[in-house]
Amino acid sequence: MALLWVGLGNPEPKMAMNRHNVGFMAIDAIADRHGFQPWRKHFKGLFCEGRIDGERIFALKPLTYMNLSGESVQDAAAFYKLTADDITVFHDELDLAPGRVRVKKGGGAAGHNGLRSMDRMLGTPNYWRVRLGIGHPGAKELVHNHVLGNFAKDDMTWLGPLLDEVADAASLLARGTPEAFMTRVALHAPAP
């Protein structure tokens, strides 16, 4: 058995520190911490694999831009014959305070174009989601610039430790204990 873990983001180097790219940051931290193989181009994205607590994990960062992320995910899932239950996506979440993390299975896209694309291409929203809080700017008209804006210098005090804790606690996700993962991250990652 294998699991597909997907980090959502946009591929342009100038977007690397955008709030919208925190999914890329999380999957990079996990792959680095657990000694995954080097990233290589595959499935319209960057792909690598490794093991966490004996579980085979495929890591994927779609290079299709956020709005078409589902194409990359669907290609990888179809190739490895994985179901929605085998897929976990790491993504930014406006409806969570910065630094907060929640895991859930299924649900709506809530305006997130990466999730909307995955729902469309996979034919179901019933995959796992690791929602990484980036906070809401307070007004709908500010959302676009907020998600495509870079994390502020002050954010680094919580963002680095949060990504470290997500990587450290990844074994709990691999074991199928998302509640334990959330608890550990909440207890060990500093709140902004």
Active site residues: 20
Q: How many angstroms separate the CA atoms of 98 and 103, rounded?
A: 15
163: three-class secondary structure by DSSP: helix
Q: Give strand pairing partners of 40.
A: 47
Specify the residue for token string 């809080």. 133
The pLDDT tens digits for 94-127 are 999 999 999 999 998 888 999 999 999 999 999 9
Q: Could you tell me the CATH number of the domain that includes residue 140?
A: 3.40.50.1470
Total of domains in the chain: 1
Question: pLDDT value at position 109?
Answer: 85
Residue 146's domain spans which residues? 2-188
pLDDT in tens, 14-73: 999 999 999 999 999 999 999 999 999 999 999 999 999 999 999 999 999 999 999 999
Residues 6+ apart with CB under 8 A from 108: 125
